[in-house]
A and B are shown apart, each in its own frame.
Chain A
Amino acid sequence: MTAPSRTADDSTAHETARRAAPPSRPRRRRRPRAAEDMPVGHGQSRTGQLFVLAGLGLFFVYSVAPVWWLIVSATKDQRDLYASPGLEGLWFGDFNLVENLKLVLTYDDGVFVRWTLNTVFYSGVGALVSTVIALAAGYGISKFRFRGRSIALGFVVATFLVPGMLLAFPLYLLFSKMGLVDTVWAVLIPSFVNAFSVYLAKVYCDSSVPDELLDAARVDGAGELRLFFQIVVRIMTSGAATIFLLAFVGAWNSFFLPLMMLRGSDKWTLALGLYAWAGKRVESGTDLTSLVIMGSLLSTIPLAIFMIAMARFWRSGVTLGSLK
């Protein structure tokens, strides 16, 4: 089984699976006869199906309950939070959501807003630039045959396996020599280059950009840059969205690199800021627990909305990603 053929298999299977369930399908058929309409487990007994549901329910509770706790706790003030031990913690007490929100947004002259804007900026710019760089590189590797091309691709794939955490410290040494530490660039530049994005772009380009189209455009006299921006990028919009999304989520979640590189709190990300707030209890005895909880919830919401809105794209990215 070779990697590329499995890639194709999987994405098509995935597509068919999604298309096989159109919303217009009649819903209330009691005993469907046609076997091909039925899911995989249609041969199962009733108890079997119950068992499946029970198992799914168990995992569902495990996955969702902690987030439920976070949501409920964000509506409580700190006194209430500590005064509701045990299972009471899973249900609402005095409803202080708005007060908590005000507290988070105004604490320390609204530094939380600053962190949010920073995070949006780092993730947005980083993901955008890395997507453009990755599309260009993926297109170059996929559609041109130049000397060193397969070595280049080998490097890209090998980079997946290089532990990112270990690179952070050497990078810090280099950046401190270059005077970039504690500047915006120290966080932005590393996010511009993402080997996995290049690999995804190459795979998408292999499967979606026809060589004939490129040749035809060249015959018509289109320059290579115009060809790339006006034709290739347009054909690869959906692939580009996946690459952008995965890069954005990665940047939003990054912690180690900003922790090393950034000193001044005005440049921090949400993750760094929450870490610092959580640490204040130990450092100076100021207990900001309910601020951290509210802040955690706030920093998750934009990401969750973004991911749900773009679910279509990142699912296909995962399908491809699983086969690298």
Chain B
Amino acid sequence: MIDLQRLRAVLRKELTQLLRDRITLLLIFMMPLLELFFFAYAVNLSVDHIPTAVCDLSLDVRSRDFIDALVASGYFDIAEYAAGEADVIAALDEGRVRAGIVIPPDFAAQVARGQGEVLIILDGSDTYSVQAAYSAATAIAQHHALDLMVEKLRRQGQTFELMPVESSVRVLYNPTLDGLIFIVPALIAMLLQILTVNLTAQSIVREWELGTIEQLLATPIRPLELILGKLLPNLIIAAVALVLIALIGFVGMGVPFRGSVLLFLFLSLLFAISGLGLGLLVSTVAHTQNEAESITSMLMLLSMLLTGFIYPREPMPAIVRLVGDLIPLTYFVRIVRGVVTRGVGLTLVWQDVAALAIYAALAMYLAARFFHLRLD
């Protein structure tokens, strides 16, 4: 059914046009690289060194001990000293600090009585920081209280050898909880999706906008030849871009790659095909390049939020999760974290691979169907 002379003609036309537009070509390769850098270093999810205002009304050994414990934890940095609770709140209001600590005047005496109380004030407008600060401050206060208790009991002549329960935590795959190891593999997947969807949607919608599509459809070119002729060059570009950003991510940034490179490349190809299919679908809905761009931007936003790329999907309501299921990245984020970070083989990710394959086939089928009917 496919005529090679016609297919080759479309391929050559697409490649000539791609190579002729140098600026677009440069952007195609530069954008993912820039995004890789910015994302990798901006999306840092661990919150520490929270700027803190301290109001120590006690100024004794006990209060200084407590403040030292907070600073030593690494979570709090003392940004300023305040004279009273009102000053601490003012500093929070003005955004100079994210947390405030108020120690009452007779702290040492209170501690001696076993009733020491410190006030910790947090900026609730930044929930990320607050959650981190809240758990850090609580843990530090408890730990500090425990130390004081042990010290007191020792002075009364009692001895302690061991804590009754000790937890020993071992983090697999990412022992230092390095944010890059979490972000980079999924980020590469995301960039690959953006690239494939955008390239395909733009290259087809552009033909509609210029009106060249009618001239093409009036020739003996079959829709399948036209679609293949458009998709294959995009697949080549996506492959080159993938190798480029993967080299920078895994070699340049030193993110460990534990699994099979071959399996990763093969599954990336499948993922790229699903992205091309999604791009084709976008092109059957959008009539202008602007519309296509709006749709792909929306898709990028949803991909960041709903696919497990940054935020875990488990706590999401079922309906929101379902929207995420419509985006190929959802499956591929799990696949890359499995293959790249945990180093597992196909047997452990096959369900997502199967879902992705079905997705790619379905997107292609639907797009080819709608594509055929467009002039009507």
A binds B: no
Task: Give A contacts to B, CB under 8 Å.
Answer: none
